[in-house]
C-alpha cells in the first residue's frame, strides 16, 4: 500500500520545512505525490542516469548540514523544497499547473559530479540537476536558483525564447524574475525575498550574490541598459537589461530597502520610475511570456509584448501600462 505523507526537511538554506513525501511499505520516499509526482534522486557524484530515489526509515530528510556524504539528504531536502515552492508559486500566482501546465511534475537530481558549481535544467529529461558547489559544501539548491532552473522549463513550454542573442537574455531574465518570485512567495523566515540571485551559494567566495536585479552591473559584467551590442553578450549578462526593467517596474527607481536589503536602482535617462509592486509586475511578465513573446522576441519585442500584457490586464493607458513604458525607457529600450 502506498500512502501520502507529510515529511520534514532539514535544509541547508531554508531551515526546517514541511516536505511532500510518500510512505511505501516501511520506507519514506522523497516523492511528492500532491504536486504532480515530483521525485528527488541522488546521483552520488555521478554525472549520468537518474540516480537513486531518496528514501529513509523516518519521515525526516536531511540534517541541515551539507559537509559530508553522510549528509547527502540535506541537499535533497533543499532541492525537494525548491521544486515544491516553485510548483506552489506557479499554481498560486498564475494558476499554472506545473511546468507544462499539464499537472505533471519534473524530477530533480542532486550531487551531480564533484565540486560542480552550477545547476541546470534539461528539456530532454524534463529534469533539473544540482552540483554541490565549491568544496562540495555549497550545493546550488537555494530557492532562487531552483526557481530559476525550473522556470527555464516554463519558458521552453511557452515562448520558447531562443537561448542566444537578445532572446537568450530574455530567457535568462525570465528565470531570474520567476526565481525571485518563488523566493518572495515562500514567506519563509530563513528565506526572505530579495532582488539578488544566488546570494546563499557564496559562489564568489566573498558572500556576494551571483547577480543583482536593481543594478545588474554590480556583478562587473551584466548590462544595466540596452545597447546595440546586447545581443553579443553572454545571455547571463544581457539578461541584466530585463532584470533591471523588472526591478524598476516592481519597485521603482532610486533607493529602497526591502526585507532589510538596500537597493539603489539607476535609470538610463535619469528619469524617475514609480513601481507598481511585485505582484502586478509578475502578472505582466507572465502574460507577456505566455501570450505575446515568441522564440525570436528581442528587447524591442519584449517592450511591445509587456505593453500588450499590461493593456490586456489593466487597460491601455492605465497606470500599470504607463509604468511598463517608463521602465523600458529607463533601461534604454524605446
Ligand atoms: N545555471 C545556468 C543557467 O541556468 C546553466 C546554464 O548556463 N544554462 O543559466
Ligand atoms: Zn539560466
Ligand atoms: Ca535571491
> Rounded to the nearest 5°, which phi and psi values hold at 296?
-110, 10
Pocket test for ligand 1, best of 113, 116, 120 (most atoms within 8 A of CB): 120
pLDDT at 70: 59
Confidence of residue 68 (pLDDT cuts 50, 70, 90): low
Q: Which atom of ligand 1 is nearest to the CA of 119?
A: 1
CB within 6 Å of ligand 1 — which residues?
A: 118-120, 148-149, 152, 172
Give the strand order in the sheet containing 16-24: 55-56, 27-29, 16-24, 2-10, 60-61
Q: What CATH code would you report for 2-157?
A: 3.10.170.10
pLDDT at 4: 52
Return d(Cα 259, Cα 270) in angstroms, integer: 26
**Ligand in nearest proximity to the CA of 170:** 2
Strand blocks (E) in 230-276: 254-258, 261-265
Half-sphere exposure at residue 118, Cβ-oriented, CA atoms within 13 angstroms: 4
Shortest-distance Cα residue to atom 2 of ligand 1: 120
DSSP 253: S
pLDDT at 66: 80
Q: What's this model's pTM, rounded to 2 decimal places?
A: 0.97
Task: Confirm or reject CATH 1.10.390.10 for domain 165-329, answering yes or no.
Answer: yes
Shortest-distance Cα residue to atom 6 of ligand 1: 120
Shortest-distance Cα residue to atom 3 of ligand 1: 120
> Using an 8 Å Cβ cutoff, are 120 and 127 in contact?
no
pLDDT over 80 at 266, yes or no? yes
Q: Ligand 1 centre and the CA of 42: distance in Å?
A: 20
Return d(Cα 221, Cα 232) in angstroms, integer: 13
Q: Which atom of ligand 1 is nearest to the CA of 149?
A: 4
Tens-digit pLDDT profile for residues 301-327: 999 999 999 999 999 999 999 999 999
pLDDT over 60 at 76, yes or no? yes
**DSSP-assigned beta bridge partners for residue 256:** 263
Residue limits of CATH 1.10.390.10 in the chain: 165-329
Q: Ligand 2 centre and the CA of 169: distance in Å?
A: 9
Tens-digit pLDDT profile for residues 227-248: 999 999 999 999 999 999 999 9
pLDDT at 190: 84
**Pick the catalytic residue: 148, 149, 172, 183?**
149
Nearest to 195 by CA among 171, 170, 178: 178
pLDDT over 90 at 138, yes or no? yes
Residue limits of CATH 3.10.170.10 in the chain: 2-157
The grid cell for 216 is: 545588474
Tens-digit pLDDT profile for residues 139-198: 999 999 999 999 999 999 999 999 999 999 999 999 999 999 999 999 888 889 999 999
Pocket test for ligand 1, best of 86, 121, 128, 176 (most atoms within 8 A of CB): 121
Shortest-distance Cα residue to atom 5 of ligand 1: 120
pLDDT over 60 at 51, yes or no? yes
Between helix 299-314 and helix 319-329 the angle, nearest 10°, is: 170
Catalytic residue list contains 236: yes
Shortest-distance Cα residue to atom 9 of ligand 1: 172
Amino acid at each position: 500500500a502506498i500512502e501520502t505523507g507529510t515529511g520534514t526537511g532539514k535544509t541547508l538554506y531554508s531551515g526546517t520545512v514541511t516536505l511532500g513525501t510518500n510512505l511505501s511499505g516501511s520506507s519514506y520516499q522523497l516523492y511528492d505525490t500532491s504536486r504532480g509526482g515530483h521525485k528527488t534522486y541522488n546521483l552520488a557524484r555521478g554525472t549520468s542516469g537518474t540516480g537513486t530515489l531518496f528514501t529513509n526509515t523516518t519521515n525526516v530528510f536531511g540534517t541541515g548540514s551539507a559537509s559530508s556524504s553522510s549528509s547527502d539528504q540535506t541537499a535533497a531536502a533543499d532541492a525537494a523544497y525548491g521544486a515544491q515552492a516553485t510548483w506552489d508559486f506557479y499554481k498560486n500566482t498564475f494558476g499554472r499547473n506545473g511546468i507544462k501546465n499539464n499537472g505533471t511534475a519534473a524530477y530533480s537530481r542532486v550531487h551531480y559530479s564533484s565540486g560542480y558549481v552550477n545547476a541546470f535544467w534539461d528539456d530532454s529529461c524534463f529534469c533539473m540537476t544540482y552540483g554541490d558547489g565549491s568544496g562540495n559544501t555549497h550545493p546550488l539548491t537555494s530557492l532562487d536558483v531552483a526557481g530559476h532552473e525550473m522556470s527555464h522549463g516554463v519558458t521552453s513550454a511557452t515562448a520558447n525564447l531562443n537561448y542566444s542573442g537578445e532572446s537568450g537574455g530574455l530567457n535568462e531574465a525570465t528565470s531570474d524574475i520567476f526565481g525571485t518570485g518563488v523566493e518572495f512567495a515562500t514567506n519563509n523566515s530563513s528565506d526572505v525575498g530579495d532582488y539578488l540571485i544566488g546570494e546563499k551559494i557564496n559562489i564568489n567566495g566573498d558572500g556576494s550574490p551571483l547577480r543583482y536585479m536593481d543594478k545588474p552591473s554590480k556583478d562587473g559584467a551584466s548590462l544595466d541598459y540596452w545597447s546595440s551590442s546586447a545581443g553579443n553578450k553572454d545571455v547571463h549578462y544581457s539578461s541584466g537589461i530585463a532584470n533591471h526593467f523588472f526591478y524598476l517596474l516592481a519597485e521603482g527607481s532610486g533607493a529602497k530597502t526591502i526585507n532589510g536589503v538596500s537597493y539603489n536602482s539607476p535609470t538610463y535617462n535619469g528619469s524617475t520610475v514609480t513601481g507598481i509592486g511585485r505582484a502586478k509586475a509578475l502578472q505582466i511578465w507572465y502574460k507577456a511570456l505566455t501570450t505575446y513573446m515568441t522564440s525570436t522576441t528581442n528587447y524591442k519585442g519584449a517592450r511591445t509584448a509587456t505593453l500588450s500584457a499590461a493593456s490586456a490586464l489593466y487597460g491601455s493607458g492605465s497606470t500599470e501600462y504607463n509604468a511598463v513604458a517608463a521602465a523600458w525607457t529607463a533601461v534604454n529600450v524605446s
